[in-house]
Amino acid sequence: MKLATLNDGTRDGQLAVVSRDLKTAHLADGIAPTLQKALDDWTFIAPQLDLLYQTINSGRGHRAFDFDPANCLAPLPRSSARVAGVSYLQQIERACKAAGREVPADLRETPRLYQGASDNFLGACADIELAHVEWGIDYEAGLAVITDDVAMAATPDQAQMGIKLLMLFNDITLRNVAAEEAGTGFGFLQAKPAVACSPVAITPDELGDAWRGGRVHLPLRSSVNGKLAGQPNAGADMTFNYPQLLAHLCRTRPVRAGAVISAGGVANKEVKKGFSSIVDRRTQEIIADGAASTPYLQFGDSLRIEMLGDDGKSVFGAIEQNVRQFDGRRARPA
């Protein structure tokens, strides 16, 4: 099934079930007011949501209405935890090659994770508002899973059972700020403003055969200012799958329902399919030409991230954002 959170003026929005073709929606107010409430009692709530999903797909939802992604918050506007992994290790290998460094010896043995801010996820059509273009504004197109409760020391097979939903993820990164923070020896914070999510989150069964091995085997398309930047396959060269990332996170602690786990920007070993971030393109330019030529995002730029199924139809809906300069005057109380 496909779930969205509509903007009703509250922090957590209103849960809605969306048709498979993303054309209509139906409020889930009689089942669960928010997605977090649904996740907190998923075993009981999910079958009721699925029944409503079947109803609107059959055209029998008497309270169905046109679905508008612009009226959506993130599927989960805030979460119990947000953890990011790096599963497309060819990006690290390319970065090491460009910088003349050795690749870490254990790169492909142990997943690398960091915990980011989870108090504010952006809707799919929300602007990317930042104060300074000199911060090096970059997008990072990937996917994330949303979990149920997962016990400490869970195996990857057990962790996979805890994966309830998937969504697209634009992990916005300020590359020049990241370089400064990396030098402190602590994790990223200022370099990682609010990320954006697809209009809907979907259950894994919606992917059919494309969901196998704990990976999504479909291309992820990114466009900047209407020009295709890349469409690498999300499953082809993913070293650590989502169950492995989640099991690694659970090594020393349990994970609570509503945790969001991402796997980094999608990348393939072969660069002919393009890139899911500007920094990865710049790295390849350094390798090939000795210098990077692609600029980071500028104010006024537009961005689109979308995944199409084998039938050519949008799976999650599109993330469509504009980059604009933050006006601090609008954030001050009157």
* Angle 271-294-114 from CA coordinates, rounded to 5°: 70
**Average pLDDT estimate for 75-81:** 95
How does strand 14-18 pair with strand 319-325? unpaired
> Which amino acid is present at 66?
D
- Per-residue pLDDT of 253-296, as tens digits, reads 999 999 999 999 999 999 999 999 999 999 999 999 999 999 99
What percentage of the chain has pLDDT greater than the value 90? 87
CA-to-CA separations, 143 to 245, 266, 303, in angstroms, rounded: 13, 8, 16
- Per-residue pLDDT of 48-70, as tens digits, reads 999 999 999 998 877 899 999 99
**Average pLDDT estimate for 195-222:** 98
The DSSP secondary structure of 81-126, one letter per residue, reads EEEEE---THHHHHHHHHHT-PPPTTTTTS--EEEE--S-PBPTT-
pLDDT tops 90 at residue 73: yes
SS3 for 199? coil
pLDDT tops 80 at residue 232: yes
> Mean of the per-residue pLDDT values for the chain?
94
Delimit the domains of the chain by residue range. Answer: 2-70, 74-331
CA-to-CA separations, 16 to 22, 74, 101, 321, in angstroms, rounded: 12, 12, 49, 22
Identify the architecture of domain 74-331 in CATH: Alpha-Beta Complex (3.90)
